[in-house]
Amino acid sequence: SDVDTQLYGYGKVADKADFATAPKPGMFDIKRKAMHRRWKDVAATGISPQDAEKKYLQMAEDLKNKYSPVD
């Protein structure tokens, strides 16, 4: 899903992974291609690893609040 790929992209940038040296996924690996493309898009924005981590954590918190049962 879009949320999965967005979290992946922010996570890879936050981990300071180098997109330029990452192997491209296979032609028929649709899920990995989407994740790779999102990582490329996030990295292309020039976001810092610290800001990517903040966005990742905020998305995770939003998801937790959205899907956690209410007491």
pLDDT tens readout for residues 28-37: 999 999 999 9
DSSP state of 20: G
Task: Pull the structure tokens for residue 31.
Answer: 């899920």
pTM: 0.86
- Supply the mean pLDDT for the chain: 93
> Cβ atoms within 10 A of the Cβ of 40, count?
15
